[in-house]
Structure 1
């Protein structure tokens, strides 16, 4: 029993497309334009710069997955470079941000699906939540079938959403090529608009970078990538420029049809765009949006479960989460992230988590780059199949500092204190975790019972270290 290296170059490209292109391109244009002070030129420039920043950060993080080609590479790298407490802190943050993001996307998807049946009035909360739970658990079942099943599902969904995005892009190009005065006027007067201040530009970047989040999917599953030293950086260089071009063309198409004020007042920009162009195709666009969100959620479940799997192997979570089913999938880790998300769906309202999820992502990326520099200094002879240039590393650190510190300095809010308290509570939980006895006989009995109930067993991967507690567990169960 072990995780299978079943993802090659083509499937890796599909996973990056699926993880990157989600709800962001249908939601973020509104936020980017709003914080750009309705300045079309600044808005499009931010989209282009976000693509460059994402590529720099993604290539910098590729060194993590190629140096330590194992699932949950980011977590393992932090533990190796900055210590167990920092690794646990990253685990603590992601155990909250992943379920919150999945819950938001589930509720958003269920709203898009149900709303047409309630024309003229908002859809009731109970059907939305029930459908969101059904969607979430269906994706959990797909993930428990193994990474090969996930990639087949992602291939189909990626083709569907790419078709919709290409249609939107080509329509915008045709409208501008025809040269109707109404469509071209917004771009002719773009430079005359008001310029935003620094804090608003930082907020606009947070909105734009949300649409590019998900590029670290291959690093999260590096233990299931064929020849990771070559395929991870090659896939990033291949896919991200294509995504950037599509995003720019889609935004140009939005602006060719809608005014900036119409865009920031729209709940779903793509649906409002369709109503103006071809109202009869609204169902097609809604299907594309739903497919994008669904495939993005599937990638989030895949990535989060591998993080839990690795943390369990390293002894910072119960060992049951590192056990595999007959499809070589850590099904208990998948179940854990699904249960946490279900609790959020049942108890919370649909909220906008773009800003805080991106801040958490870039906070962790800054820690990764600091760890990378430390490991290069301490272990210069460590085999590195792919070595990112140092300017990219320092650039990623600078981006993280800009995105995190600018809102704190320019416009401090009470929410920032909550975030600091949340991080400190993670360190407190780590202290409790370290000082508690994790190896009681009662704990082993519960683990063995769950192992028999769900038909899972410990992995026997010679590339990954089996902790002492896991050896004890094997002997106890025997």
Structure 2
């Protein structure tokens, strides 16, 4: 009798406080700090003081938003908590709209990270000139599919990789930060000059500041991973807020010091024109270290991609359990991984990688992300009013909730009002077309016998089974909340 046959087929609570911090560092520190400095400086009108101020402000806004969203993951400690929360507070149509947007923004983010990884890996082979596009895209696809196979091994294997890769990325970033501090401490005129006259530079307008915030906040966007994986975190009521309070300030300090180091070595124009900012920085300081820095950054971005896959696949898994995606996406393999959900994400991202522009990808995904965060806060207020007695292990102060709503409105409405473009109109049409798709695919969808057969064939192909604990500890009774700790 095989002992594995008696294992409970469900997601496992295997992430504690330490691994929660590792996940935040892995998910947040990655593509952002190596690509966003270019965008932040561009939309700050190459103003150094404004650029650094925006990085600091982004850290504060991220902490406020993350702590506000932590109430979702602690009140409903299940995987894909944001999706489940929206369905419960604002209804199925809004939850489907969240799903509709995330099915596009998650592949956009993952494609950005894949292309950045390939750029940093290949660039040392093409010293002095940009790397060709075809090899970059091929390597990005290879890394992406390797990541899919790794995730199929389960969250514990991924958590082990995160611990190792986080040490590698922190080593690289600490080297960059320390070198910048030393150069400024030496007081050489060339290194200090950019900071001495920073306040005399041109100031950006309000719409440019909003765009710069979107670029900077992209670098912090991985902080929502703990809510996405709340069903796999031990004692989520305590560990989710504690991990955010300790993890985000660490990320903020590293980001500020890294930007100071970039600016101590490179001019703002050099940063904006560089495809790989850290490699351009290394080439000016220690050219012989370019391979080491390139490897460290590639490892960093790979671990961030891993976290993105974890987060996105749990959202697809939850939507499938709630009946808004085919049931096959909620089935698990023997490693307690939703393999089919991971496979769908990898396929969608592969399509995005074929044609993309990094800065535009960040802008589009950033607008959609903050639109959803605003919806989450509105739902949070509504649920507090409708269900005041619902058990809440962690309760965020109301000013944080209203602050998050104000941030979302500023980032979304300012570009639309000050500098309206057709791409903004296309974005709004795309967002609200999700409601039309909801009406067509949910209300008019008829499950045919042939579709059931396809599900059976896919189940055999991926060797997956339905989870035993469908609700993962969430009672269908609104007044009752139970958490199962494994």
Report the TM-score when normalising by structure 1: 0.94
The equivalent position to 1:94 in structure 2, one of 95, 99, 102, is: 102
Any idea what the Cα deviations from partners look like across 1:441-465, whole Å, max 9, x if unmatched?
A: 2222221222122211110116438
Q: Assess, with a 3 A threshold, how the Cα gap between structure 1 residues 97 and 404 changes in structure 2: closer, same or farther.
A: same
Q: Is residue 80 from structure 1 mapped to residue 88 from structure 2 by the alignment?
A: yes
CA RMSD, 1 decimal: 1.8
Any idea what the Cα deviations from partners look like across 1:42-79, whole Å, max 9, x if unmatched?
A: 11111111000000000000000000000000000000
Q: Is residue 423 from structure 1 mapped to residue 434 from structure 2 by the alignment?
A: no
What residue in structure 2 maps to residue 167 of structure 1? Answer: 175
Shift of 1:120: 6.0
Structure 1: segments with no counterpart, 5+ residues: 468-478
Shift of 1:403: 0.2
Shift of 1:123: 4.3
Shift of 1:242: 0.7
Shift of 1:121: 5.8
Q: Is residue 151 from structure 1 mapped to residue 159 from structure 2 by the alignment?
A: yes
Structure 2: segments with no counterpart, 5+ residues: 1-8, 476-486
Any idea what the Cα deviations from partners look like across 1:357-380, whole Å, max 9, x if unmatched?
A: 111111100000000000000000
Q: Assess, with a 3 A threshold, how the Cα gap between structure 1 residues 123 and 278 changes in structure 2: closer, same or farther.
A: closer
What residue in structure 2 maps to residue 48 of structure 1? Answer: 56
- Answer yes or no: is the 8 Å Cα contact 1:313–1:466 preserved in 2: no
What residue in structure 2 maps to residue 263 of structure 1? Answer: 271
What residue in structure 1 maps to residue 36 of structure 2? Answer: 28
The equivalent position to 1:318 in structure 2, one of 308, 321, 326, is: 326
The equivalent position to 1:274 in structure 2, one of 274, 279, 282, is: 282
Aligned pair count? 467
What residue in structure 1 maps to residue 230 of structure 2? Answer: 222
Any idea what the Cα deviations from partners look like across 1:263-315, whole Å, max 9, x if unmatched?
A: 22222221111111111111122122212221111111111100000000000
Shift of 1:126: 3.9
For 1:336 and 1:329, how far apart are their aligned partners in 2? Answer: 13
- Answer yes or no: is the 8 Å Cα contact 1:6–1:148 preserved in 2: yes
- Answer yes or no: is the 8 Å Cα contact 1:14–1:158 preserved in 2: yes
Q: Assess, with a 3 A threshold, how the Cα gap between structure 1 residues 233 and 68 changes in structure 2: closer, same or farther.
A: same
Q: Assess, with a 3 A threshold, how the Cα gap between structure 1 residues 466 and 446 changes in structure 2: closer, same or farther.
A: farther
- Answer yes or no: is the 8 Å Cα contact 1:67–1:383 preserved in 2: yes
What residue in structure 1 maps to residue 250 of structure 2? Answer: 242
Q: How does 1:53-452 map to 2 (within 5 A)?
A: 53-119=61-127, 123-346=131-354, 348-352=355-359, 353-452=361-460
- Answer yes or no: is the 8 Å Cα contact 1:18–1:158 preserved in 2: yes
Shift of 1:154: 0.9
What residue in structure 1 maps to residue 5 of structure 2? Answer: none
Shift of 1:421: 1.4
For 1:202 and 1:339, how far apart are their aligned partners in 2? Answer: 32
For 1:459 and 1:10, how far apart are their aligned partners in 2? Answer: 27
For 2:85 and 2:356, how far apart are their aligned partners in 1? Answer: 35
What residue in structure 2 maps to residue 37 of structure 1? Answer: 45
Of 429-438 and 359-368, more deviation after overlay is shown by 429-438
- Answer yes or no: is the 8 Å Cα contact 1:107–1:350 preserved in 2: no
For 1:221 and 1:288, how far apart are their aligned partners in 2? Answer: 26
Report the TM-score when normalising by structure 2: 0.93
For 2:115 and 2:395, how far apart are their aligned partners in 1? Answer: 40
